[in-house]
Structure 1
Amino acid sequence: MAEYRAGKAGINAEAQARINSKYNNDIAHETLEWIKSITGEPQNTSGDVDNLYEVLKDGTLLCDLVNKFQEGSVKKINKSTMAFKCMENINAFLEAVKKLGVPAQETFQTIDLWEKQNLYSVVICLQSLGRKAGNFGLPSIGPKEAEKNVREFTEEQLKAGQNVISLQYGTNKGQQTGISFGNRRQM
């Protein structure tokens, strides 16, 4: 586990510090309160890094959570504290949330939680799952899910749009020769 690893140094330490700086205790507390409202656990909903890690590291609470969304999402929850069993729980949770509609880019890797590498991404995943909760009749957290806004255009409207020149192509207003960068090279 994380406490037996050597500390990171150099650029790796800087990268880890940058990842750790994104973590927000208030959002983590809100997330743990939301989990408690659905599952009845954990008792301590403090948002500090160590508490979040202790509550979620074995993956059993995460598996219980997704089973509240859809019964049987995780068929076998390992109660063992052996490393590979806990990591199986976390992996089963990740597979289940993808099926529940959490985008892959908002999930985390098993090692992020198990080795306490990136708890910020764990909270992001849980917040994303929290947005989906309303679709399953459960209390939700975070911003409301966006609704689809499909637009239908006629062929005439599509052809008219092809004649419009986008400003993304640039402009030379004010200069006849286009945009010039810096001074000319003197020879």
Structure 2
Amino acid sequence: MDHLLVLVRHGQSEWNLKNLFTGWKDPDLTEKGVAEARAAGVKLKALGIRFDVAFTSALSRAQKTCALILEEIGQPELPVIEDQALNERDYGDLTGLNKDDARERWGEEQVHIWRRSFDVPPPGGESLKGTAERVLPYFRAHILPRVERGDRVLVAAHGNSLRALVMELEGLSGEEILKRELATGAPIIYRLDASGAVIDKKDLAA
């Protein structure tokens, strides 16, 4: 039986384009982001991949990416489960700030620590560790069981919520996952065995 899990980071958003910390705010996709999402669907369709269920966050940039992918592969009516457990990392007081402005306010070193340490949260926000503590229980309770029983599952979410899933699937440390960049609109295809262990991985950004 084919145990298939496909992760896709949403296409470029308006705030990605403006170099702003986005977090739980809800900007739309740019034209480029729409094109990236459609291209992801085209790539998956070319591989003959179809899904039994999709999961996405409570944020529209991920929901729209999910819908565009499903439209391209000819499954626009597929059940989609939305949950804020899959939302992007909450950047707290950094949310909405230009990354250059944040560096001017708090200093380059401090902003780098907030962005690139595993367990140091920005003021009022989440660390990547905190994000994982929100994402992974949901993954283990709701997504992984579907994969293990043989459903082909799509997860359209965000850079940091997906980092948490990649860390879990690939057995990476906090330091290792921080170095992993996830391209927008680039599917990562995992094939798992019945126990949830990864057999094979294909990154369509490569």
TM range (shorter): under 0.3
TM-score, with length taken from structure 1: 0.25
Bigger fraction of residues in strand: 2
Specify which structure has the bigger relative contact order, considering alpha-carbon pairs within 8 angstroms and separated by 6 or more residues: 2
TM-score, with length taken from structure 2: 0.23
Bigger fraction of residues in helix: 1
